[in-house]
Amino acid sequence: MSKAEIGIIGGSGLYGMAGLTEVREERVETPFGDPSDPFVLGKLEGRNVAFLARHGKGHRILPSELNFKANIYAMKKLGVTSILSVSAVGSLKEEHKPTDFVIPDQFIDRTFDRTATFFGNGVVGHVGFGDPICPIVSDVFVKACEEVGVVGKKGGTYVCMEGPQFSTRAESNLYRSWGADIIGMTNLQEAKLAREAEISYATLAMVTDYDCWREGHDDVTIEQVIAVMHQNSGNGQKVVKAAVRLMPSDLSASPAQTAAKFAIMTDKAVIPAETKAKLDVLFGKYW
């Protein structure tokens, strides 16, 4: 039975959601191990939501240590069809100022220590990822920002770096020369796995700093990130609440909802039973 329709992943500085009713915590078991934390299930704006603190309560899990597969699988198991992700990011452009929100629509991958596919172990699949963000959820975030009265810029390229150290100045300038807008350490793997799981995914990226490229300006520090996040997490929660209300209950127009339909290359007859059992929640309807 589906327990939640809309998933919310809270990043650095967003470890809970105000305004939930009928709140209960639930540990979700997955074949990939434990998600970052127990899920907080409840109602927000009359909708069933599932909140997950990406780095766990108390911020215990490094970006490279995140069990992205368990987090996204658990969302699918709960019945989630869309994910509202919230993240802190550095700005790579003058025009994106600390406290601005950006809703990115592209990624550049600079990670090297993560796996981000549910396929493998006898089943080969390839989903399209040319447009990695769901346009419907992205629009919902843009409209929610307008309603709340905060700057919410539609589109932009998010560089996903490995971390946990911040970038060197040479790297930061390289990403700028590529035309990238913002930088963070977490969103690409979530977006990839959400796409395989046919969940519509978008991110509300909260600019906290100018990374380390801006002359005459201090390089990013964690103190700065936390100070801006504290200042902004109230607005972030207001935007998420409005986004939950604005989310269409029918997302069938989103390409994400059928992304795996033609993805599986492997002859169904040769997919190992164990792999099928493990991935049944995700792809059972296709075999």
Ligand X SMILES: Nc1ncnc2[nH]cnc12
Binding residues for phosphate: 12, 54-55, 87-88, 186
Q: Is 211 a catalytic residue?
A: yes
- Beta partners for residue 3, in sequence order: none
Comparing CB distances to ligand X, the nearer of 103 and 183 is: 183
Per-residue contact string for residues 171-200; x = within reach of ligand X by CB under 6 A: ------------xxx---------------
Query: Which contacts of 64-68 are long-range, i.e. CB under 8 A and separated by 24 or more positions?
Result: 64/111, 64/113, 64/114, 64/162, 64/163, 64/164, 66/36, 66/186, 66/189, 67/32, 67/33, 67/34, 67/35, 67/36, 68/114, 68/116, 68/189, 68/190, 68/193
Binds ligand X by CB under 6 A, chosen from 71, 82, 189, 208? 208
236 binds, among ligand X, ligand LNRAV4D5, none (CB under 5 to 8 A by kind): none
Per the annotation, binding residues are: 12, 54-55, 87-88, 185-186, 209-211
Helical spans, DSSP H, in the chain = 68-78, 135-148, 169-177, 187-196, 222-246, 273-283
Binds ligand X by CB under 6 A, chosen from 52, 70, 89, 242? 89
Comparing CB distances to ligand X, the nearer of 20 and 226 is: 226
186 binds, among ligand LNRAV4D5, ligand X, none (CB under 5 to 8 A by kind): ligand LNRAV4D5
Residue of 37, 100, 181, 211 marked active site: 211
- Which tokens is 41 given? 């299930």
Q: Does 228 bind ligand X (CB under 6 A)?
A: no
- Residues touching ligand X: how many (CB under 6 A)? 13
Q: Is 100 a catalytic residue?
A: no
- Beta partners for residue 10, in sequence order: 53, 86
211 binds, among ligand X, ligand LNRAV4D5, none (CB under 5 to 8 A by kind): ligand X
Comparing CB distances to ligand X, the nearer of 61 and 281 is: 61
Shortest Å, Cβ 71 to ligand X: 18
**Across the chain, where does the E strand assignment appear?**
6-10, 21-26, 39-44, 47-53, 82-91, 101-103, 106-110, 152-154, 157-161, 182-184, 200-209
Comparing CB distances to ligand X, the nearer of 225 and 259 is: 225
Shortest Å, Cβ 88 to ligand X: 4
- Which tokens is 216 given? 């005459």
Nearest-angstrom CA–CA distance, 184 and 214: 17
Question: Which residues contribute to the site for ligand LNRAV4D5 (CB under 6 A)?
Answer: 11-12, 54-55, 63, 87-88, 163, 184-186, 222, 225
- Which position's Cβ is nearest ligand LNRAV4D5? 11
Q: CB-based contacts of 75: which residues, under 8 Å, 6+ apart? A: 4, 7, 50, 52, 83, 194, 197, 199
Q: Does 66 bind ligand X (CB under 6 A)?
A: no
- What is the three-class DSSP state of 202? strand
- What is the three-class DSSP state of 39? strand
Catalytic residues: 209, 211
Binding site for ligand X (CB under 6 A): 88-90, 161, 166, 183-185, 208-209, 211, 220, 225
